[in-house]
A and B are shown apart, each in its own frame.
Chain A
Amino acid sequence: MTRAPRRSVAVTVVAAATAFELATSAGCAGRASARPSNDLLIVGYDREPDTLNRFSTHILEDIQTCIVEGLTTTDEQMRVVPLLATEVPTPENGGVRLRDDGGMDVVWKLRPGVKWHDDAPFTSADVKFTVDAINGPNYNPESTDGFDRISGVDTPDPLTAVVHYKEIYAPYDIQFIRGALPKHLLEGRDIDRAQDYNRNPLGTGPYRVAEWKSGEYILLERVAHYWQGDEYPKIRRLLFKFVANTNTRINQLKNGEVHVVALAPWDKYREMTAIPSVVVARTRGNAYEHVTLNERQFPPFADVRVRRALIAALDRELYARTILDGLAPVADGPIQPLSWAYTDRIARYRFDPAKARVLLDEAGWTPGPDGIRRREGRRLAFTLVTQAGYAIRESMAQAIERQLRDVGVDVTVDLKDGTALSAVWFEGRFDAMLHWWQMPSDPELTTFFAADRTPPAGRNINYFRDDELTRILYASDRTVDRATRKALLGRAQAIIADAVPEIPLYSVTRLDAVPAALAHFRGNPTNTGIFWNVHEWEIK
């Protein structure tokens, strides 16, 4: 009665064992993992870029950075340094000239001998074409910020581009950090639909796209005769593998299927440091995690005593030691120590729950029967929204909820997915939000704190209003004198620290897992990413 089923089981087992043997024996002969070498370095990436056109996206600039170079870039200290330009224009070197009509001219001197990957020369005509394309009606770049203040570009010779601004624009030095569009390839074309360029951009950088397999990887190969020297880049091929799942990415790092994990999650730090062939580079970042206090949505936040009470009730040093595992220092404001505009001459708030209670008492919020403070019948209760699926942030939200409850403030944590969160904050439909800003290398604060820059006009999602601060911030945007600007931004930081429009928590440290044998890795705290000097990287 059971003979036939037994046979089928036996056949199944034999077939499965044969398939497994075939697969695993093949695996032993040639494992998917390979040691990092100067022939191939494999990077594990959390998602696939939508385009490699640097003007169409700000996401995952790492790959683009290897291909398309800017006139300037930012180094590991967040300094703006020349790349395709011979120098960074400044008032001192005559590269920036203020005009009587309130505008300014910036003279970009281009490096001679630089060629696009198709051997066409890189010239000032490409710079002018880029400005015209971005300001023109036929292309939809991600952002026109800064470009829309340009009235025109003159090209007196192939290596000089004179950019005329309608008004003084302080971050002019990073205007062309994303490079330029090749005029000879894109002129007269619909750039939004130019998939040959958008998926395989023509650049001047050390690498070009060899293959883009959707959903799987992008393979870059070195270009011959790179302008920085024929010996560069040292590594022949870079492979960017798209592995969305964090655990899988770390597993691949462990067994050598990937060699680099950029922007590694903090909760995996200890796991990664245990991998012998890997070092985890820690780069002090330019982003800061904070709690935004939306004064429009939750009016009690408009009282500075309440805001100061909230920051005093939170033991941020404890968070840094425990939740953050000592990886990130406490932040005291929006400008981080790496920036030239940073000042430490500002008010600092230590953990002092007794003081928090006194401040809340002074503000008229007295403890109710349930321990939560009340004023005029209203409970001091708000919702803290933050991103779901982000372990550190979820833990931080729980700690905040617990410590604020100790001083009589009721917090409800609301977790949302990243896309939903973006929509909520842009419309100002939240009480408080735990998130970070990745600040540009230029320390402009206007969009975050000027009174007239609340959504949709800007990113002042605290809905904070301080007329003196607004005046100072706009003044700082309208000067290119570094000393004057530093003084203005120093004063702005002091006002912000004093008024506590938001609760700064910690300065974000960037973690990148790289091979221990990798030489000349220098890291980078900005959106430029760690590959800004990839041509120097070498496996020793």
Chain B
Amino acid sequence: MIRFVARRCLQSIPLLVVVSALVFVLIHAAPGGPLAVYLANPNVRPEDIERLRRALGLDRPLWQQYGAWLWAFVRGDWGYSFSDGRPVVVRIVERIPATLELVGASLSCAIVLAMPAGVLAAVRRGRWVDRLATLLSMAGISLPAFWFGLLLQLIFAVTLGWLPSSGRATPGGGDFADHLRHLLLPTAVLAIVLASGWSRYLRGSMIDILSLPFIVASRARGVPASRVVLRHALRNALGPLIAIVTVDAALLVSGAVVTESVFAWPGLGSLFTEALARRDYTVLMALLMLSSTAVVAFNVAADLVHALIDPRVTAS
């Protein structure tokens, strides 16, 4: 297994280098740049723009900028943010706890929602439980996250006043219950959207597996129904779901951009939005590399988990 992980890591290095080059070129090709924000200010003169361009190293050819960035990046020097001058590492690290909190809660809740919904819908295929699960999951998939978030805000924060509309905690502190209250709405949005999709995948996998001969044989041998469903069918149906969950998790780790924006959640998604608006190249590059690395790492993790669940699959 260690050899498998090591091999996958080595294989991902050239991939990440290619991704970094592509991302670097794409970011710089986007209209505007880190200095665009100054252009609207009449007091910032062309001489100032040129001075700032030199100070940020933007006057060098693009390949030189990329080479310098890559060399520094691999040595652990992620540079300084173009917008606030602080080390990029500091800006990212301070946002990670909020993202992990939101992602962890959302993934957990989504799994808790998706598993029974998918299993029940498959077991009770065509009945009202299935139809209800289908209706709710289609609604969850169709709802735009920003609209759904605002709707929950209006109901639970503005109308009922039960929950805060945004933020991670009450400024100045907040106990566990305060954190939980702030976490509820953004978690609900992400979890419902994720669970809606996952439950459909699980339902499909379960229906396929429940019709296979070994399930029919198990039932004929008198194995209890719950054991057939949970131990034999569900275990086999989890493979495709694990692959999807890990991809979604990797994307969420790099930031649930829309949800974080609606709920003013101070995670990596908000940082990405800010950096994109300011064309903060150093922060954007670091975030995108983090995202790419997370996708690779989670895929490796998915393979390992799949191997643990399904003995037919081996990590090697």
Interface residues of A (CB under 8 A from B): 1-5, 8-9, 12, 15-16, 19-20, 22-24, 26-28, 30-33, 42, 47-48, 50-51, 56, 58-59, 140, 142-145, 148, 192-193, 195, 198, 211, 213-217, 219, 239, 241-245, 247-248, 251-252, 254-255, 257, 416-426, 437-440, 447-448, 455-459
Contacts and interface: CB of A to CB of B under 8 A. Distances in A.
B56 to A, nearest CB: 9
Interface string B236-278: 0000000000000000000000000111101100110110011
A217 to B, nearest CB: 5
Interface in B46-69: 46-49, 51-52, 55
A192 B85 CA distance: 7
B266 A1 contact: no
A247 B163 CA distance: 16
26 contacts: A1-B225, A8-B115, A8-B119, A22-B177, A24-B162, A31-B161, A32-B167, A33-B161, A33-B164, A140-B52, A145-B45, A215-B271, A219-B171, A219-B172, A244-B261, A245-B166, A248-B153, A248-B262, A251-B165, A257-B165, A257-B167, A419-B31, A423-B31, A423-B32, A424-B31, A425-B39
Contacts of A239: 171
Given A23-B163, A219-B172, A419-B279, A145 B44 contact: yes
Given A5-B116, A28-B162, A216-B266, A251 B150 contact: yes
Contacts of A257: 157, 164-167
Nearest to A148: B47
Given A217-B171, A248-B264, A257-B167, 5 more contacts: A5-B226, A26-B181, A30-B170, A58-B43, A438-B40
B23 interface: no
Contact of B171 (A58, A216, A416, A440): A216
A163 B53 CA distance: 29
Contact of B184 (A20, A254, A418, A419): A20
A39 to B, nearest CB: 12
A55 B83 CA distance: 14
Interface stretch (B1-9, B91-99, B136-144): B91-99
B18 interface: no
Contacts of B171: 42, 213, 216-217, 219, 239, 241
A28 B177 CA distance: 11
Contacts of A8: 115-116, 119
Interface in B132-190: 146, 150, 153-154, 157-158, 161-168, 170-172, 177-178, 180-182, 184
A422 B36 contact: yes
Contacts of A245: 146, 166, 261-262, 264
A456 B49 contact: yes
A172 to B, nearest CB: 14
Contacts of B262: 245, 247-248
B124 interface: yes
Name, among A244, A418, A438, the residue most crowded by chain B CB atoms within 10 Å (CB to CB). Answer: A244
Contacts of B120: 2, 5, 9
Interface residues of B, number: 82
Given A22-B180, A51-B85, A243 B230 contact: no
Contact of A143 (B37, B43, B83, B270): B43
A457 to B, nearest CB: 6
Query: Could you say which of A31, A239, A416, A439 has the most chain B C-beta atoms within 10 Å of its C-beta?
Result: A31
B86 interface: yes
A457 B226 CA distance: 77
B62 to A, nearest CB: 16
Interface of B: 30-33, 36-49, 51-52, 55, 80-81, 83-86, 91, 94-95, 98, 109, 112-113, 115-116, 119-120, 123-124, 146, 150, 153-154, 157-158, 161-168, 170-172, 177-178, 180-182, 184, 224-226, 228-230, 261-264, 266-267, 270-271, 273-274, 277-279
A22 B170 CA distance: 17
Contacts of B39: 422-423, 425-426
A111 B51 CA distance: 35
Contact of A12 (B85, B113, B165): B113
B60 to A, nearest CB: 17
Nearest to A252: B165
A145 B37 contact: no
B45 A143 contact: yes
Contacts of A456: 46, 49
Nearest to B174: A32
A125 B220 CA distance: 95
Contacts of A15: 112
B125 to A, nearest CB: 12
Nearest to A446: B42
Contact of B40 (A30, A145, A422, A458): A422
B269 to A, nearest CB: 10
A503 B53 CA distance: 33
B254 to A, nearest CB: 16
A420 B264 contact: no
Contact of A23 (B46, B153, B180): B180
A370 B261 CA distance: 45
Nearest to A29: B177
A439 B42 CA distance: 8
A142 B41 contact: yes
Nearest to A210: B172
Given A51-B84, A437-B42, A24 B150 contact: no
